[in-house]
Amino acid sequence: MRITQTSLIKKYYQALIDRTPSFVGIFYVGVKTTDIFCIATCRARKPKFENVEFYTTFKDALTAGFRPCKICKPTQNANQAPPQIEQAIEMVKNSPKQKVTDYQLKVAGISPELVRRWFNQHYSMTFQAYSRMLRINNAVIELKSGKRATDAALDNGYESLSGFGYTYKKLVGNAPKEASNVIVIDRFTTPLGPMFVCATHDGVCLLEFVERRMLETEFRDLQRLLNAKIIAGENEYTQQAKIQIGEYFAGERQRFTVPLVTPGTDFQQQVWQGLHLIDYGTTTSYGEQATRINNPKAVRAVASANGANRIAIIVPCHRVIGKNGSLTGYAGGLARKRWLLEHELTNKLSD
């Protein structure tokens, strides 16, 4: 929402002038003379007091018509993990088979309390739960390659097979000796805000902005349709997706090659395949999309199938607009939809 309280506006403006780091993510400032918005620590020339508007979220600033500043990159840096969190995550990834304790965090100069708060806020889980999921994901990979359960348990930091088996079954849904399917989930930032990417051992099955409506329902549906549990982790497909999405936002990629896993009805599959036929930098209507799949009367059904798409950007449902050219029906928000279309048009024209 736009901030209208005078005392708060003055406080935030002073924080902007002083480039106060503690206000990063607390407010987003829109500059009316340039139509851009920034975070508190932006190094750009400071605007006059009468030329600024303050917002509580970057989505509010986008909706108001402001574009992200290219200097401070507000949608990325306001949601980027702080250095201590990045360091803690690297400790886990560099030693995935060992438990990272609070003591080890303190020795490394990292506040365990800060780590706990950040993970609860951004992952809705504790740091130790995140670490356990990474270790179990590593064990799943090893078991699929033929390693014995006892060896996988010991190699991933578990002192007993029973403790390993209990945690494994709780997170994965079955015993270590049984065939296991898991969906790994990772979080990363983009110029339009943080996203979740999920993947199986066959490809990416979800790519969504973290505050997407009905995201919890999508998670439940994916686990049911793929008969797999979602756990924190990475694989080759989540890494590939993050690289290609980064190239897309940099204007360096127009087509994606990462494999996809898109469980759905036959009609949904038909609609989603049709989305791939909409060229980068162009748009189509729901009616035109229905005609393209030889079902011109199924406009509402097509719109519903678009709304059920779980893989944003790569499966480009943002390129479908209303019959009269209006922007409608995008779960990530119409401001993002407008930004994506303008981004593609600009980069297509510059080719």
Tell me which residue of 244, 208, 185, 209 sits closest to 75, measured CA to CA. 209
Tell me the residue type at 33. T
Say how many CA atoms lie within 13 Å of 323 toward its Cβ: 7
Q: Which of 42, 69, 198, 317 is catalytic?
A: 317
Tell me which residue of 307, 322, 313, 309 sits closest to 341, measured CA to CA. 313
Q: Which of 38, 69, 72, 205 is catalytic?
A: 38
DSSP state letters, 44-76: SPPPPGGGEEEESSHHHHHHTT-EE-TTT-HHH
Residue showing tokens 């886990």: 92
Known catalytic residue at 198: no
Residue 5, C-beta contacts closer than 8 angstroms, at least 6 positions apart = none
Known catalytic residue at 38: yes
Could you give the angle at the alpha carbon of 298 between the alpha carbons of 293 and 300, nearest 5°? 125
Return the active site residues: 38, 317
